[in-house]
Structure 1
Amino acid sequence: MAAPVGTGKREQQPERELRTSGVTVRFAGLTACEDIDLAVRPGEILGLIGPNGAGKTTLTNVLTGFQRHAGAVVVDGRDVTGWSPQRLSRIGVRRTFQNVRLFAGMTVAENLEAAALGVGLSRAAARRSTAGLLERFDLMAIAGSEATALPYGLERRLGIARALVGDPRYVVLDEPAAGLDEEESDELLARLRAVPDQYGCGLVVIEHDMRLIMRLCDRLHVIDHGRTIATGDPAQVRADPAVIEAYLGSAAAGKALAHG
């Protein structure tokens, strides 16, 4: 019996990306986000920027399951619209918060291990992940210290490390440089720049520090009044008239856009 003749076509694999399609969020008639299409791929750092009140935090909450919305969220070809934050975290979509939310009464190492157990790692795997993160984020010397007693810069570093337990696919960092001085911001830049290569994940970084964001990100996605106004690499976005106009009200941001 003759073997069946193949079609010669390979089954197409879904593109690996965290993507939103037509995302819209309204609060009592007020539109916080409108028809936003955003995408970040593994190994890429995407900056999500915009003036105060632009809708960045709302979109962050959409990406990580904290906000109901119209439109779709897709992870590596899988529609995850409406999934809870816990379910998204377990498939590798993680986040940090503007206010570092460390587990009180636990050490630095215990904070990392608890986060690893929370996303479904076994105890042995959680310990391995914790050991690797302590090493890569230079936290080994303070592994036994009370986490909530750390200086602010180290709290920020621990919060980011905690989001990376178990090698996530995508991590959303909500203002990771908030409250850091210029030296601490430069140190953070170097650490974040290495994350995609070390962990193979995509990063979405929401940040007001234009000096950091312009040097850190591969691409930028700019929103204002809940709408996308520009996308592109930092040089393209910096020169975009719509972006310049949106930031005119902030002298510091405008200066960073011009010279970042």
Structure 2
Amino acid sequence: MGKGDRALRASGVTVRFAGLTALEDIELSVRPGEILGLIGPNGAGKTTLTNVLTGFQRHAGTVAVDGQDVTGWSPQRLSRFGVRRTFQNVRLFAGMTVAQNLEAAALGVGLGRAAAHRSSLDLLERFDLTELAGVEATALPYGLERRLGIARALVGEPRYVVLDEPAAGLNEEESDELLTRLRAVPAESGCGLVVIEHDMRLIMRLCDRLHVIDHGRSLAAGAPADVRADPAVIEAYLGSEAAGETVTHHG
């Protein structure tokens, strides 16, 4: 793990809760400009791994960011260093407008007031929220709330962002729109994305690579088409209809 190793990398990550193993010897990496899909059945350990990568969960093994060992760093320190996340439940700042939500997030990760304002304006435009800048954030429709939550994680050009089920609750049209916006993120900023998602229709078209975990262990990793055809993945997660891109798993 040299200083030139540009990736968000988990090595030998193991998490145990009261003797139960939630994650065992996980090896995972995502590079700048790459979109990695993290998939697996409910209870597989995806949220625990998300918490490890973003500083919310203590663990054995190491996490490194672009060659810097960040094991044990707090979520706040990691966020300022450029590793962010979204949550399944959008946690917008109540009583604040859309623009103020973005500016507050930017100030929170260490940007000065002028830089925070510039970052806010940029993300309002990139996520087609400019006309809603003055609207109270909690008054937004659900799909726009989720879009703002993602934009907020991108203030200040982070290195890596972990998106926890960004398409949850979206209809097909909203999911397609999200796909377009997420695809643009690495191209615009070089940011690496880790996307945890059950919407196979989205994940198969969005991601450069997939990493599958089941019962806390890595099951498969590789190109989406290869992972989808892997017999172990089909048995554990996707089911016999996995050949189609329209499979959506909620189990």
Common fold by TM > 0.5: yes
* 1:133 maps onto 2:115 in alignment: no
Aligned partners of 2:227 and 2:44: how far apart in 1? 16
Aligned partners of 1:21 and 1:207: how far apart in 2? 22
Gaps of 5+ in 1: 1-11
Specify which of 223, 242, 251 is matched with residue 232 of structure 2: 242
Counterpart of 2:122, as a letter, is: G
Aligned partners of 1:137 and 1:190: how far apart in 2? 10
8 Å CA contact 2:3–2:66 kept in 1: the answer is no
* 1:70 maps onto 2:51 in alignment: no
Structure 2 counterparts to residues 14-163 of structure 1, below 5 A:
14-163=4-153
8 Å CA contact 2:9–2:65 kept in 1: the answer is yes
Aligned partners of 2:186 and 2:14: how far apart in 1? 29
2:244 maps to which residue? 259
Matched residue SS, 1:33:
strand
TM-score by length of 2: 0.96
Aligned partners of 1:53 and 1:153: how far apart in 2? 26
Matched residue SS, 2:243:
helix
TM-score by length of 1: 0.92
* 1:206 maps onto 2:191 in alignment: no
Percent of residue pairs bearing the same amino acid type: 84
How big is the shift at 1:39? 0.1
Aligned partners of 1:150 and 1:26: how far apart in 2? 39
* CA deviation vs aligned residue, 1:146-196 (integer Å, no higher than 9, x gap): 101110000000000000000000000000000000000000000001100
- Rg: which structure is higher? 1
2:180 maps to which residue? 190
1:5 maps to which residue? none
How big is the shift at 1:258? 1.6
With over 3 angstroms needed to count, the CA separation of the structure-2 counterparts of 1:27 and 1:13, relative to structure 1, is closer
Matched residue SS, 2:28:
strand
Counterpart of 1:205, as a letter, is: V
